[in-house]
Amino acid sequence: MADPDRAKEEDETLREMARHRGFKLVKSRRRKPGVGDYGRYGLSDSAGKQVLGFGAKGLTATGEEIAAFLRKGELSAWGASVDATPARPIARKPASKPEAETIPQPEPAIRPRRAGRRTAPATPEPREKPEPAPAAPPPPSPEPTLAIRKATKNDADAIAALIGGADDSEVIGARITEALRAKAVILVADRDGVIGVVVGSAFTTLQSGRIGRLSLILVSRNEQRQGVGRLLVDAAQAALTKQGCALVEAVSDIAIRNAHAFFRKLGFEQASYRFTRAGDAFRG
Q: What is the pLDDT of residues 84-118, one digit of tens each?
A: 445 455 455 555 555 555 555 656 555 666 665 66
Which pLDDT score, from 0 to 100, does residue 105 have?
A: 60
Looking at the domain 147-265, which fold is it?
Answer: Aminopeptidase (3.40.630)
Look at residue 9 in the predicted model and tell me its pLDDT: 84
pTM metric for this prediction: 0.47
Rounded Cα distance, 214 and 251, in Å: 7
* Residue ranges covered by each domain of the chain: 4-80, 147-265
pLDDT at 80: 46
How open is the CA angle 224-15-44, to the nearest 5 degrees? Answer: 70
Q: Cβ(239)–Cβ(185) under 8 Å?
A: yes
pLDDT at 34 (0 to 100): 83
At residue 166's C-alpha, the angle toward residues 164 and 170, to 5°, is 90
